[in-house]
C-alpha cells in the first residue's frame, strides 16, 4: 500500500526556515494509580467481515433501541462524532492583524463552533473581543474588529472539554493582568492533571473565574517567581500533563508553545509582508496567503518580538516520543491541510484503499461516502476495488446544532434533515457506504435505515476507515465515556446487528499505521488501543493502560 504523500511534495518550506533547538528524550511519566487492562483489548485482533440476510438486518435495526445502550439525552446524538476541542491562530507583524486573525479562525471553524475570540496588541496594551457562536456571526460587522487595533493578535475557536460548554466566561483567549503587565492565552488540548493543579493553586490563594483548564496555565505563569516571562512559561509548562498547543500574547511579544508529545498540531507560516503566523492547521495559512514554514516542534517555544520581528526558539521540555493525534487524519482536520507533516486527503485516501484490500464487498454495485469526512476514503476504496464512486448522500449545511432538541423523536428526524439520499443512484443497488468512524452507533443505524428505506438500496455494506473506537480521549477531544462507545461494549458482529447493515468491517490498526510509513508509531491511537502516552488521572479514567 502506498504511504501518504511526502510533506515535501505537498508544501515547499520557506527559503529561510526557523531552526529548532530542542533535544530529545525524557523520562516517562509515572502512573498515579493501579492499571487494569482495557476490557475489549481483543477487539483489535480481529475485525472480521460479517454478513447476514437483509431481513435479519432490518430486524437488528429495529431492535437498536432495545440494546443495553446508555442514555444520550445530554448530547446531540445525530452528530455522532468525536468533537475537536478548539483551534488557535496567531499573527504578529501585520497592520491588519485582527482581520487576518478573523480569517484564520474562519478557516478553522470546523475545530470549534460554540464560541470564538480575538485579542490584539497595539504595542502598549491588549484589546479583547469574545462571544458565543460562529466566527462569521460574532465578527460579521466591521465595528467588532475596529477596537482590535495593533499589529499582533491571537484567536481561538472553542468546543469544551474542561469547562461548561456554553459559558461566555470560558470563551478564549483569556486575558489577565498581573504585576508584569497583561498576558493573553489561547489553548488547544486538555490537561489531564487540571483538577490537581487547580486544587493546589486554590490552596495557595488563587481565585478562579472560569471552569476551563486553560486558566490554570495563566495562574501558574502569574504565580511563578522566575524571570523573564519565557522562564515563567517554561516553569509553568513543567507542571502540565497532557496535550497543549498554546499561543500567548503580551504587549510586545508572541509565544507559540507545544507539549513534549506534540498531541495537537501547531504550524508556523510567513505572509508576503513578513508577518509571522501560527495556526492549528495549514488551511488557515492558505486563506491569508501565508507560506508554510514548519511545525512548532514538540517541546518547543517559539518567541517573536513584535518590535524587530526577531525569532527565537527554546526547549520547553525535553522531547518525549512523538504522539500526534491520529484522529486529526481520520476525521478532524480539513482535507486540504497538512497535519504532522502528512497531507490529510492522502491519508484518508490511503485508509480507504487499504480497507478495500482488507475487506472487499463482493457483488457490490457502487461506493458512496458519508459526507463530508468520508469522501477521500470512499474515493480510495472505489479506485482500489474497481467499483464506481457515486455521491449517493447529499448533506445539508444549513441545519444548525441548536435547531435539534435532544429528545428521541427529533433525534430520529435529525439525520433526515442532515442527509438526503439520491433515489436514482441508490435504488436496487448493493451499496458500500464509507464512513470515517463509528462512535455510539446511533447515526450509523439511521444512515443505514435511510439508505434502505428512503433510498431503496438492496444491500448496505458499511466500511469504516478507522479501527473500532474502544476508549475515551483525554488529550483535547470530546469523546463519550468508554461505556457509551458501541465498540467498547460489542464485537464487530454485535455492532453490525445494532446498526442494521448487511456487512460491516473496520480498517485494521496495522493498516492505519502503515498509511504513515515509518512514522506510523509516532501517532497517539489510544482511542483504538486503550494505551495512553500520558496516563489519565484516576478520577478521569478507569480502563487506561500506560503505553
> Any idea which residues carry the catalytic annotation?
86
Q: Is 524 annotated in some ligand binding site?
A: yes
Using DSSP's 3-state secondary structure scheme, residue 222 falls into helix
CB 410 within 8 Å of CB 72: no
Q: How far is CA 188 from CA 119, 213, 497, in A?
A: 16, 11, 37
C-beta of residue 111 within 8 angstroms of C-beta of residue 156? no
Nearest alpha-carbon partner for 23 in 299, 324, 245, 268: 299
Strand 86-92 vs strand 276-279: parallel, antiparallel, or unpaired?
antiparallel
Q: Are 41 and 316 in contact (CB under 8 A)?
A: no
Per-position DSSP letters for 22-68, written without gaps between them: -----PPPPPSS-----TTGGGGG----EE--HHHHHHHHHTGGGSS
What's the grid cell of residue 42? 481483543
Asked if residue 104 lies in contact with residue 277, where contact means CB atoms within 8 angstroms, the answer is yes
CA–CA dist 146, 337 (Å, integer):
30
Q: Is 435 helix (H, G, I), strand (E, B) or coil?
A: strand
Local structure of residue 70 (DSSP, 8 states): -
Burial class of residue 9 in the structure, from the number of CB atoms within 10 Å of its CB (0-12 exposed, 13-18 middle, 19+ buried)? exposed
Name beta bridge partners: 315.
Answer: 300
Q: Is 435 annotated as a binding residue?
A: yes
C-alpha distances out from residue 523 to 193, 326, 332, Å: 21, 6, 15
Residue 28, number of CB atoms within 10 A of its CB: 12
Query: CA 127 to CA 433: how far, in whole Å?
Result: 48
Asked if residues 138 and 105 have their Cβ atoms less than 8 Å apart, the reply is no
Residue spans of alpha helices (H) in 213-324: 214-223, 229-238, 282-287
Is residue 436 annotated as involved in ligand binding? yes
Residue 473 labelled as part of a binding site:
yes
Q: Are 304 and 92 in contact (CB under 8 A)?
A: yes
**Residue 400, C-beta contacts closer than 8 angstroms, at least 6 positions apart:** none
In a 3-state reduction of DSSP, which class is residue 209?
coil
Q: Would the annotation count 140 as a binding residue?
A: no
Is 325 annotated as a binding-site member?
yes
Q: How far apart are CA 422 and CA 454, in angstroms?
A: 9
Q: Enumerate the known binding-site residues.
A: 325, 373, 435-436, 473, 524, 527
Q: Enumerate the known binding-site residues for Mg(2+).
A: 373, 435-436
Q: Enumerate the known binding-site residues for [4Fe-4S] cluster.
A: 325, 473, 524, 527
Amino acid at each position: 500500500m502506498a504511504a501518504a504523500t511526502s510533506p515535501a511534495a505537498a508544501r515547499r518550506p520557506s527559503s529561510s526556515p526557523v531552526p529548532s533547538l530542542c533535544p530529545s528524550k525524557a523520562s516517562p511519566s509515572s502512573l498515579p494509580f493501579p492499571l487494569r487492562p482495557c476490557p475489549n483489548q481483543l477487539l483489535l485482533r480481529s475485525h472480521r467481515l460479517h454478513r447476514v440476510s437483509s431481513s435479519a438486518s432490518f430486524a437488528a435495526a429495529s431492535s437498536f433501541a432495545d440494546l443495553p445502550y446508555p442514555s444520550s439525552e445530554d448530547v446531540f446524538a445525530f452528530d455522532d462524532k468525536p468533537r475537536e476541542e478548539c483551534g488557535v491562530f496567531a499573527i504578529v507583524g501585520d497592520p491588519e492583524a485582527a482581520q487576518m486573525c478573523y480569517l484564520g479562525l474562519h478557516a478553522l471553524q470546523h475545530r470549534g463552533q460554540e464560541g470564538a475570540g480575538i485579542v490584539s496588541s497595539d504595542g502598549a496594551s491588549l484589546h479583547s473581543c469574545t462571544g458565543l457562536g460562529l466566527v462569521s456571526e460574532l465578527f460579521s460587522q466591521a465595528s467588532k474588529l475596529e477596537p482590535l487595533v495593533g499589529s499582533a493578535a491571537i484567536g481561538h475557536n472553542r468546543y469544551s472539554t474542561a469547562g461548561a460548554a456554553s459559558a461566555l466566561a470560558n470563551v478564549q483567549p483569556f486575558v489577565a493582568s498581573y504585576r508584569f503587565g497583561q498576558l493573553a492565552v489561547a489553548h488547544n488540548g486538555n490537561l489531564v492533571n487540571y483538577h490537581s493543579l487547580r486544587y493546589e493553586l486554590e490552596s495557595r490563594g488563587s481565585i478562579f473565574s472560569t471552569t476551563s483548564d486553560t486558566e490554570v496555565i495563566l495562574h501558574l505563569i502569574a504565580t511563578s517567581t522566575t524571570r523573564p516571562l519565557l522562564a515563567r512559561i517554561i516553569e509553568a509548562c513543567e507542571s502540565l500533563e497532557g496535550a497543549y498547543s498554546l499561543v500567548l500574547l503580551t504587549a510586545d511579544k508572541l509565544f507559540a508553545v507545544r507539549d513534549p508529545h506534540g498531541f495537537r498540531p501547531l504550524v508556523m507560516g510567513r505572509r508576503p509582508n513578513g508577518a509571522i503566523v501560527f495556526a492549528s492547521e495549514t488551511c488557515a495559512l492558505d486563506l491569508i496567503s501565508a507560506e508554510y514554514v514548519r511545525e512548532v516542534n514538540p517541546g518547543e517555544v517559539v518567541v517573536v518580538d513584535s518590535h524587530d520581528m526577531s525569532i527565537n526558539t527554546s526547549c520547553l521540555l525535553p522531547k518525549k516520543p512523538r504522539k500526534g493525534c491520529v484522529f486529526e487524519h481520520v476525521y478532524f482536520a480539513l482535507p486540504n491541510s497538512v497535519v504532522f507533516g502528512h497531507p490529510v486527503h492522502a491519508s484518508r485516501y490511503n485508509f480507504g484503499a487499504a480497507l478495500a484490500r482488507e475487506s472487499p464487498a463482493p457483488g457490490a454495485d457502487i461506493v458512496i461516502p458519508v459526507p463530508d469526512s468520508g469522501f477521500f476514503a470512499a474515493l480510495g476504496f472505489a479506485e482500489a476495488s474497481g467499483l464506481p464512486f457515486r455521491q449517493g448522500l447529499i448533506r445539508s449545511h444549513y441545519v444548525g446544532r441548536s435547531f435539534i432538541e435532544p429528545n428521541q423523536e427529533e433525534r430520529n428526524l435529525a439525520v433526515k434533515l442532515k442527509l438526503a439520499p439520491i433515489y436514482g443512484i441508490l435504488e436496487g443497488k448493493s451499496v458500500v457506504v464509507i464512513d470515517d468512524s463509528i462512535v455510539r452507533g446511533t447515526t450509523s443505524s439511521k444512515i443505514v435505515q435511510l439508505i434502505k428505506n428512503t433510498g431503496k438500496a438492496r444491500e448496505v455494506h458499511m466500511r469504516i476507515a478507522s479501527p473500532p473506537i474502544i476508549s475515551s480521549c483525554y488529550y483535547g477531544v470530546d469523546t463519550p465515556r468508554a461505556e457509551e462507545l458501541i465498540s467498547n461494549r460489542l464485537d464487530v458482529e454485535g455492532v453490525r446487528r445494532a446498526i442494521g447493515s448487511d456487512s460491516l468491517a473496520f480498517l485494521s490498526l496495522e493498516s492505519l499505521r502503515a498509511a504513515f510509513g515509518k512514522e506510523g508509531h509516532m501517532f497517539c491511537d489510544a482511542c483504538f488501543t486503550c494505551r495512553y502516552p500520558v496516563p489519565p488521572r484516576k478520577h478521569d479514567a478507569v480502563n487506561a493502560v500506560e503505553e
